[in-house]
Structure 1
Amino acid sequence: MASTTKEVATEILPFIRVYKDGSVDRLVESPIVPPSPHDPETGVSSKDISISLNPPISARLFLPPNHHHHKLPILVYFHGGGFCFESAFSADHYRFLNSLVSQTKVLAVSVEYRLAPENPLPIAYEDCWFALRWVASHHDHDQNMIREPWLTDDGDFERVFLGGDSAGANIVHNIAMRAGKEPLKSGVTISKAFLTHPYFWGSDDQQSSSDHRPNCADNNHDHDQDHHRRLGKSMPHLMWEFVYPSAPGGVDNQMINPVGPEAPSLAGLGCRRMLVSVAEKDVLRERGRSYYEAVRRSGWSGEVQLVDVEGEDHAFQILCAESENAKMLIRRLADFLMINS
């Protein structure tokens, strides 16, 4: 009798496994949940829409309650997940954005970009740039385009924000840099951007005491850490090579190492205010802090602030949303978006 066991081509534990037949198992994803016309906890409404069929890009939109008397700032959000797992439709990001939207009173567009390894980088960057340009196009008066009524009726295109966690925060940086060089439609500009626990790395291996994906019940992943340490590379390094195998310069490519020798000046960031959030136990903490310092020193004309949360690990505000520190960070993000917006 023939064996039905599939042969593994490559794996990065505990995250993802790829088989030689091309199929992929994503091992740590949050379950997909449907949108809601009225979230019972926050009152936020959400719906799923198609941005483009070619390329295939979709999004989940979030609208706060009691919003009818004024235009809302627009937050374009990019989810985390190492560029190869998680979704704009996942339960953890749905919960996070319901909370943030209810406190901030923004209209959020959470982008469902294509994932590696089926769609290796730079595809995700291109998808997210396409999505931002699509949002901005609603400020035009072109009657020939199919327009999303939540954006045309409720969106304030004088206040467009970017936000993201982990790989999504990396995307925020790269989209903001591109926006500094390529104008969006109808003069739309990015007012603010926040990066929570941004996925940056480089060959000069800065890291904190932890190197794993946190779990609210048990943060012990010794076996998985030993596995990738035996390969002689850190998890962020391995993941980058997995999602962008053709990256010029490897882990020092400017998309992953924005303070590296080949990276353009951060003075070119195309937004006016920025918040960078890091966590004490996160392996990416020192990279995030170095990025914040580099932005401050770059000559960029905007304002940047740093939030450094003690005792927490990577993406805790997504993965452990009921903790007091998670609630505190979401309030801090809300304050950043609301004040003088």
Structure 2
Amino acid sequence: MATNAKTIASELPPVLRVYQDGTVERLIGSPFVPPSLEDPTTGVSSKDTTISPLVSAQLYLPKLSPPQTHHKKLPILVYFHGGGFCIESAFSFLFHNSMNSLVSRAKVIAVSVEYRLAPEHPLPAAYEDSWTALQWVASHSLQDTINKDSWLTENGDFDRIYMGGDSAGANIAHNMAIRSGAEGLFGGVKILGAFLSCPYFWGSDPIGSEPVLGHEENLLYRTWTFVYPSAPGGIDHPMINPFACDAPSLSGIGCSRLFVCVAEMDELRERGIRYAKAVRESGWDGDLELFEVEGEGHCFHILNPATESAKTMVNRLASFLR
């Protein structure tokens, strides 16, 4: 009897499956939504842009009030979405709504980066794409570059560039801060600050109250080995474990302000707290704020934006960016 069932080659339950014919089925994630010239709720305008043949982004511009429209430059936020490096998108409903809300409150121009996803494009593809996007934003500070966007050139303040992200996006933001500190950006542009919300860090050794039993079966562990199967050091690669023995010194973080947010009910909480402590002890000479939200889980402000906790979180992020 004939069957249409396809054979599964590999999977990351409950997130996605890869079939032997090469197709990938993502089991969770929010639908794509189009950009809007003026969001009816927030007044924020958004548009899609192409950064390189491999990298695109969605740009966000807050509603500008005359007479400051052409005079007051706005901070720039380079944002990296979450999703374990393998689901979600800069163009998906969850992150589009989240950006509209944050941009409206913070009055920043945001560049939400659409990086390539695993398993079709295993890491380090997402890191390379994110670096390309960060350098593209910095290149707008130069006079003789092409492929510029008018929202950035006309309204962006290149002395106030921030970056940030949630979960895997926060991991990317950390690694971009380390790389920008080591290599520098076009035009000598400096990153003023970065926020890491529920940052995705992990490692082979449980810390704090993390359970020892089943550590390698944990979804956080399995996700990294799935999205970066060739990572030297595996789960202790410095990009997922900033406390690994061969990780670059946190004193080299290339920004002067850090905002780290953790949630009480999040499995990643203790890693985020340890990260903040390790940065403070590294000799890094910037300003760091650790903000913990009680009674909430992983990326609560993205998943349930209508709650009071989520609104408080977005207001704190907006205050940091202002």
Shorter-chain TM range is over 0.9
User: For residue 251 of structure 1, what is the aligned residue in structure 2?
Assistant: 235
Conserved 8 A contact 2:11-2:18: yes
**Equivalents in 1 of 2:122, 2:59: separation in Å?**
25
User: For residue 8 of structure 1, what is the aligned residue in structure 2?
Assistant: 8
User: For residue 170 of structure 1, what is the aligned residue in structure 2?
Assistant: 171
**Equivalents in 1 of 2:221, 2:9: separation in Å?**
19
Tell whether 2:315 aligns with 1:331.
yes
User: For residue 50 of structure 2, what is the aligned residue in structure 1?
Assistant: 50
| 1:262 positional shift | 1.4
**Equivalents in 2 of 1:236, 1:21: separation in Å?**
27
CA RMSD of the aligned region, Å?
1.5
The CA deviation string for residues 266-290 of structure 1, in whole angstroms up to 9 with x for no partner, is: 0000000000000111111111111
**Equivalents in 2 of 1:17, 1:313: separation in Å?**
25
Evaluate the alpha carbon distance shift between residue 232 and residue 182 of structure 1 in structure 2; reply closer, same or farther with a 3 A threshold: closer
User: For residue 224 of structure 1, what is the aligned residue in structure 2?
Assistant: none
Conserved 8 A contact 2:216-2:222: no
Tell whether 2:134 aligns with 1:132.
yes
What SS does the corresponding residue of 1:173 show, helix, strand or coil? Answer: helix
Structure 1 residues 220-299: aligned runs within 5 Å:
232-299=216-283
Conserved 8 A contact 2:7-2:19: yes
What SS does the corresponding residue of 2:259 show, helix, strand or coil? Answer: strand
User: For residue 65 of structure 1, what is the aligned residue in structure 2?
Assistant: 63
The CA deviation string for residues 158-179 of structure 1, in whole angstroms up to 9 with x for no partner, is: 1000010000000000000000
The CA deviation string for residues 141-197 of structure 1, in whole angstroms up to 9 with x for no partner, is: 00x512111111111101000010000000000000000011111111000100000
User: For residue 26 of structure 2, what is the aligned residue in structure 1?
Assistant: 26
Evaluate the alpha carbon distance shift between residue 232 and residue 196 of structure 1 in structure 2; reply closer, same or farther with a 3 A threshold: closer
User: For residue 81 of structure 1, what is the aligned residue in structure 2?
Assistant: 83
| 1:205 positional shift | 1.8
**Equivalents in 2 of 1:137, 1:193: separation in Å?**
19
**Equivalents in 2 of 1:290, 1:38: separation in Å?**
41
**Equivalents in 2 of 1:300, 1:233: separation in Å?**
34
2:245 aligned partner, one-letter code: P
| 1:28 positional shift | 1.0
Residues 129-138 or 19-28, more deviating: 19-28
Tell whether 2:200 aligns with 1:199.
yes
**Equivalents in 2 of 1:202, 1:273: separation in Å?**
26
| 1:209 positional shift | 7.5
User: For residue 111 of structure 1, what is the aligned residue in structure 2?
Assistant: 113
2:287 aligned partner, one-letter code: E
What SS does the corresponding residue of 1:300 show, helix, strand or coil? Answer: coil
What SS does the corresponding residue of 2:217 show, helix, strand or coil? Answer: coil
Structure 1 residues 310-329: aligned runs within 5 Å:
310-329=294-313
| 1:113 positional shift | 0.2
What SS does the corresponding residue of 1:181 show, helix, strand or coil? Answer: helix
**Equivalents in 1 of 2:18, 2:208: separation in Å?**
27
Gaps of 5+ in 1: 211-227
| 1:2 positional shift | 2.8
User: For residue 184 of structure 2, what is the aligned residue in structure 1?
Assistant: 183
User: For residue 221 of structure 1, what is the aligned residue in structure 2?
Assistant: none
**Equivalents in 2 of 1:112, 1:75: separation in Å?**
14
The CA deviation string for residues 65-107 of structure 1, in whole angstroms up to 9 with x for no partner, is: 0151411110000000000000000111111110100010000
What SS does the corresponding residue of 1:162 show, helix, strand or coil? Answer: strand
Gaps of 5+ in 2: none
User: For residue 219 of structure 1, what is the aligned residue in structure 2?
Assistant: none
Tell whether 2:160 aligns with 1:159.
yes
**Equivalents in 1 of 2:235, 2:22: separation in Å?**
25
Structure 1 stretches of 4+ moved >4 Å: 207-210
Out of 102, 119, 122, the position equivalent to 1:120 is 122
**Equivalents in 1 of 2:207, 2:2: separation in Å?**
48
Identity %: 58
**Equivalents in 1 of 2:120, 2:319: separation in Å?**
38
**Equivalents in 1 of 2:17, 2:296: separation in Å?**
27
**Equivalents in 1 of 2:237, 2:147: separation in Å?**
37
Conserved 8 A contact 1:208-1:283: no
**Equivalents in 1 of 2:40, 2:72: separation in Å?**
23
2:58 aligned partner, one-letter code: R
User: For residue 148 of structure 1, what is the aligned residue in structure 2?
Assistant: 149
What SS does the corresponding residue of 1:336 show, helix, strand or coil? Answer: helix
Conserved 8 A contact 2:44-2:103: yes
**Equivalents in 2 of 1:58, 1:178: separation in Å?**
21
* TM-score between both structures, scaled by the size of structure 2: 0.96
